A and B are shown apart, each in its own frame.
Chain A
Amino acid sequence: MAGTIQNRDSFLGEIATRLGREPKMQVEKPVWKYQPQRAVLTDASADELLEVLRKQCQQIHTDLVETTLANLANALNETVKLYGGGPLSLWKDPRFAEFGLSDLIETKWPSEEMEVNSWDTTLGDKNIVRAEQANVGITFSDLTLAESGTVVLFSSADKGRSVSLLPTHYIAIIPKSTLVPRITQAADLIREKLDNGELVPSCINFITGPSNSADIEMNLVVGVHGPVKATYIVVGDS
């Protein structure tokens, strides 16, 4: 259902008056004179982008694990154990099965009495309670920005915002194919979706490492309101 709009005409009329013209109903974006963002890492290969990401992770207090598809389940299990195990909070995401993690999630972890909760929209608010109690939240990265060390998450009914936010630790699984130079390419991807008639999701998160603050005497404290530690697991194509 469409929302309401109040006081718009007088408000915008005043702006037009101050700008000394009639209100504008159509504006074309100009061809910008400068486009420096298009030159950043444009020609970098996938391996070069991975090297950029590797270095950047040291800046953002994030552990980087590199693994193969065959070894992904082991690497994920090890990282979860390193963080002290469950309870776990996961997206409901077909990529877990595609990347060979079904056995780990559905059989191995439950057999170790580890609580595993996948996001289930039919459970409503209970999802938030479970994510809040989770020790580790795990999601895939929808797009990965090498320059800044950022995972981009597009929300949906099965991909709750809370999974990457409320648990004490956060793990992002990064398929190597999601690596792009920088946030410029995220804007390009959104443009592609819009051109295909899609809507942007209600929430797009650009996440760069664990939460932090420097509000007390400019001292960096890692881990404030969001996760206190984060690991990225990069999965190669073979």
Chain B
Amino acid sequence: MSMKFSTKNFNERTKDNISDDFMRKAVASAQERLHSRQLDAAEELGSWEEWRSHGEEIRQHVLENLDYYLYQLSENVAERGGHVFFAKTAQEASAYVRDVIVKKEGKKVVKSKSMVTEEINLNAVLEEAGCEVIETDLGEYILQVDDHDPPSHIVAPALHKNREQIRAVFTEKLDYKNTSKPEELALHAREKLRQEFLAADIGITGCNFAIAETGSISLVTNEGNARLVSALPKTQITVMGMERIVPSFEEFEVLVSLLTRSAVGQKLTSYVTALTGPRDAGDADGPEEFHLVIVDNGRSEILGTEFQSVLQCIRCAACVNVCPVYRHIGGHSYGSIYSGPIGAVLSPLLGGYDDFKELPFASTLCGACTDACPVKIPLHELLHQHRRVIVEEEGRSPISEKLAMKAFGIGASSNPLYSMGAKVASTAMKPLTKNNRISKGPGPLKDWTDLREFPAVGNTRFRDWFYDQKGGK
């Protein structure tokens, strides 16, 4: 799957999802649970604001010196016998991974959860080259088995599915015979996937944070699948977005502490694994060969711009879990693997305004995302910046809005025209007014009145009322 997964436009996608009652209930309850877990974890830790500020200063320092830390990382990976490939584009990245696998004559690939491998469309490229690619995170596995249903949440990708749907998919595709109890479904996946882990020749992982000083990569999971992917296959390939790096273990532990609390409310997840190079001499498990692919794919173009702070992101989804818009439209409406507020900022930057120009407008600018962010990305301000760029620099605001603004501009800059407009407004809107409300608006008003009523225009102009109150004085 590439970053963009839908050919429908934003309105169509939203319409499909907003009528999906199960999805909307599931999203609402997941949001409440995950957000309250973050709040509890933050309160238990104490000095949360200080933690956020520390997270922010670390991420800002790394971005300002990104070339240096990537240099140091690559030196240290190579020194430990790992291979490093810097990929400018998605195509370069996935082609390199494919070539490594073809050279190793790899057939079976097991993968742990990774957003960046989705972004570079890796699975499709590998399948085209004749590989079997198996997602091993339970949520990702469910989606893959269900004919590649797209993820709807950065941390909980199968959030939109209920247990009956999952049981039906398992029954149809995996010869499953038991009930829809999550325990039984998970056990079935465990048994199926354990065999795949043991038979796989290639393991592919993402990377939560690379550690420059030691040339390490790290994986944060609860299921343990990333450990299996990095312990059993003879070749490991890790793909990372170029900004996902920290100077040393001292900063690593701070960001992991912020990540696990913000994502799932845990002090640490069941497994946090720091891997350095291939297996050491004498080790009997771990990969014999290790490749690290560092992906740009549009990230460098964000550096040095007003959007640079979005690269501070540690992919915890805390912003998604508090977003009132995400709550109503769900993850699939965004049409990007990156959903919620972070997706609305990041998708247009990585994928362009052609496909994602609506996303910055899918926000109330309430700022809940900014408050929830553990590394203090000013998300709602960035959304606002996008709107400004779209309207001022790209000239892409919707045509009806452009016409309305133009007309308003003409009307408001001329005193007689403005006075006349204000005087006739009440009369002009009368045919549409019922009980002092407008419920079937014309033209640009229709999108609004489809959902709610518009108050009727009053009979008296404010200026006239004001004049009367003062008795003309």
Contact = CB atoms under 8 A, between A and B. Distances in A.
A150 B268 contact: yes
Contacts of A155: 280, 283, 286
Given A217-B162, A224-B223, A187 B249 contact: yes
A190 B213 CA distance: 11
Given A2-B79, A7-B87, A125-B284, A226 B224 contact: yes
Nearest to B51: A36
Contacts of A33: 53-54, 57
B67 interface: yes
A123 B284 CA distance: 8
A53 B300 CA distance: 43
A147 B248 CA distance: 21
Interface in B23-76: 26, 29-30, 33, 45, 47, 50-51, 53-54, 57-58, 61, 64-71, 74-75
A65 interface: no
Interface stretch (B131-139, B330-338, B440-448, B454-462): B131-139
A37 B253 contact: yes
A36 B50 contact: yes
Contact of A202 (B50, B87, B92, B283): B283
Interface stretch (B271-279, B393-401, B402-410, B429-437): B271-279
A161 B286 contact: yes
B206 to A, nearest CB: 16
A225 interface: yes
B84 A3 contact: yes
Interface stretch (B7-15, B119-127, B179-187, B417-425): B179-187
Interface residues of B, number: 110
Interface stretch (A23-31, A74-82, A134-142): A23-31
Contacts of A34: 50-51, 53-54, 57
B355 to A, nearest CB: 23
Interface in A167-208: 182-184, 186-188, 190-191, 194, 199-208
Please indicate which of the listed interface residues A3, A16, A165 has the most CB atoms of chain B within 10 Å of its own CB: A3
B324 interface: no
B68 A25 contact: yes
Q: Which label, helix, strand, loop or mixed, suits the secondary structure of the A interface?
A: loop
Contact of B277 (A8, A202, A205): A202
B177 interface: no
A7 B85 contact: yes
17 contacts: A3-B79, A5-B83, A13-B67, A15-B303, A24-B67, A157-B283, A157-B284, A183-B253, A183-B256, A190-B214, A199-B276, A200-B276, A202-B276, A211-B270, A214-B156, A218-B29, A225-B225
Given A155-B283, A203-B231, A210-B270, 10 more contacts: A120-B284, A124-B284, A161-B227, A162-B231, A194-B214, A200-B276, A211-B271, A214-B156, A215-B142, A225-B136
Interface of B: 26, 29-30, 33, 45, 47, 50-51, 53-54, 57-58, 61, 64-71, 74-75, 77-88, 92, 136-139, 142, 156-159, 162-163, 166, 182-183, 185-187, 189-190, 193-194, 197-198, 213-214, 216, 222-225, 227-228, 230-232, 242, 247-250, 252-254, 256-257, 264, 266-286, 290, 294, 296, 300-301, 303-304
Interface of A: 1-8, 10-16, 18-20, 23-27, 29-30, 32-37, 39-40, 56, 60, 119-121, 123-125, 127-128, 132, 145, 147-150, 155-157, 160-162, 165, 182-184, 186-188, 190-191, 194, 199-219, 221, 223-227
